[in-house]
Amino acid sequence: MSPLRAILWNGAGQALAAVGVLVGMRWLTNCVDPDIFGEVTLLVGACGLAVNVLATPLIQAVMHEYPAARSQHEVEHLYRVFSRTLGRTLLKSFVVIFVASVAVRCVFTFSWPPLALTLLLLVGDSWRAAVLGMFNAEQRHKIYVYWVIADAWLRPLMAVLFIHFFGAAAETILLAYLCVSFAALLMGNRVMRWPFLRKHCDGTDQEEKRLEERLRTYASPLLPLGIIGWITGLADRYIIGGTIGLGAAGIYAAAAGLASRPVLMLGTALELAIRPRYQEIVGDKNPQQEKRILLIWIALVTGAGTLYVAALAEWREEIAALLLGKSFRSGSLLMPWVASGYVLLVTSYIFERVCYAHSRTRRVLSIQTVTAVVAIICLSAGAYRYGLQGAAVAVPVFYAAQLAASIYYAVITHRESHVIAQTAHSYG
């Protein structure tokens, strides 16, 4: 598939998946009250944190190793070692996860059935993330898009069906999510026929140990990014749930999810279209063209984002009435604040890409660390003092801090690369 077709496929897939998420939110908020929605949001968010820490770094390591494995015809060997490593990681982490579950239950008074289902969902979603990572590594864009769209639509649809037959409860929704997760895994393995569970695979025990060590070495530095990203993206729900209540967390999660989804989709679509060209320009060592394409990228994000925030501020009540259940519509007041924060976030990603492109990944960690610290302070103070409105106003504040830090490091990185290019030209 050509790069342009890949961009179109991924862009269309994200748009359809986003529509599925929005429609699913409407379905769910019509079927359950804010307390149940808040409980599910917090449990699924905790599952996402575990996936980010346990599975995502290893998946990134596999994607890094895949080109070499493909050239040496050792893809099956790589997948076998990865599946075993991920399985061991999940087993070793079970005790820690169980203790964390007990702590969460004490703070938020969750019952045991939803917690048990969340632990099972962690296993399913970890392997789901692994399969999606393999689709990316193999550039199977079509099946990747089909998978993402199906997941976005089937989870809420299955949840609504389960609620209809078994009643509205957090465990009902989580059970529906779990069924969709494992059904998708079975279908994915049947379609792709990956060699996860083959007993025999070329390669000695020493080779497998070396490969496993390479995977872990690559994955280890990525662990903090998963935790920090979770803090900046989802900590607000937990702070609200702990200080105000699960019902408030449910209202906030629904409003924030509705307001942020179009901004994130815009940012991802523009990145798919622009980042490959930007990477080429960086490789050609042309600072002027690099600056020009960055300015175009920034103008597109900020221009479209500003229009979206203005439209949301003007028609927030109508949008909430269309896409949220009646019990959740009071969150419409929060939506412009959250949306403006996510516009700042997506803009900051552009400056972070400068650091990524010039191999200054430690600076990205510094940027996100600053954001996480500011986020915890602002969200805690805002939620405690002013409730939901204070938490919503905190979102653009801490994402403004991320934007400022990313601009600072991007400027330094750009200047350093310009000096290096001039030096190389002089000696050339």
Nearest-angstrom CA–CA distance, 296 and 302: 10
Residue 71: how many CA atoms within 13 Å on its side-chain side? Answer: 4
Nearest-angstrom CA–CA distance, 1 and 239: 44
Grade residue 122 by pLDDT with cuts at 50, 70 and 90.
confident
3-state secondary structure 38-76: HHHHHHHHHHHHHHHHHCHHHHHHHHHHHHHHHHCCCHH
| Residue 420, pLDDT above cutoff 60 | no
- Average pLDDT, rounded, for the chain: 81
> What is the reported pTM?
0.78
**More confident call, 43 vs 275:** 43
| Average pLDDT of the segment spanning 132-137 | 73
What pLDDT does 418 receive?
A: 62
Q: Is 255 helix (H, G, I), strand (E, B) or coil?
A: helix
What pLDDT does 197 receive?
A: 44
Q: Is 197 helix (H, G, I), strand (E, B) or coil?
A: coil
Give which of 200, 192, 211 is closest to 85, Cα–Cα: 211
**More confident call, 180 vs 52:** 180
Contacts of 213 (CB under 8 A, 6+ apart): none
Q: One-letter amino acid identity for 210?
A: R
* Other Cβ atoms within 10 Å of 89 Cβ, number: 17
**More confident call, 315 vs 211:** 315
Residue 193, Ramachandran bin (φ over 0: left; ψ between -120 and 50: alpha; else beta): left
Environment class of 167 (CB within 10 Å of its CB; exposed 0-12, middle 13-18, buried 19+): exposed
Q: One-letter amino acid identity for 345?
A: L
Give which of 152, 308, 342, 337 is closest to 233, Cα–Cα: 342
Per-residue DSSP letter, 321: H
What pLDDT does 157 receive?
A: 93
- Residue 371 is encoded by which pair of tokens? 């954001």
- Residue 323 is encoded by which pair of tokens? 């896409």
Angle of helix 34-54 relative to helix 75-92, nearest 10 degrees, comes to 120
Q: Is 93 helix (H, G, I), strand (E, B) or coil?
A: coil
CB 398 within 8 A of CB 366: no
pLDDT tens-digit map of 302-356? 999 999 999 999 999 999 998 888 889 988 999 999 999 999 999 999 998 888 7
Q: DSSP string spanning 355-416?
A: HHHTT-HHHHHHHHHHHHHHHHHHHHHHHHHHHHHHHHHHHHHHHHHHHHHHHHHHHHHHHH
CB 242 within 8 A of CB 379: no
What pLDDT does 95 receive?
A: 67
What pLDDT does 424 receive?
A: 46
Residue 85's alpha-carbon distances to 6, 117, 208, 388, in angstroms, are 30, 23, 10, 42
Contacts of 386 (CB under 8 A, 6+ apart): 393
pLDDT tens-digit map of 12-65? 777 788 888 888 888 888 888 898 988 888 888 888 888 888 888 888 777 777
pLDDT above 70: percentage of residues in the chain: 85
What pLDDT does 147 receive?
A: 81
Give which of 319, 316, 309, 320 is closest to 346, Cα–Cα: 309
What pLDDT does 381 receive?
A: 92
Handedness of CA 108, 110, 112, 114 (dihedral sign): negative
**More confident call, 204 vs 317:** 317
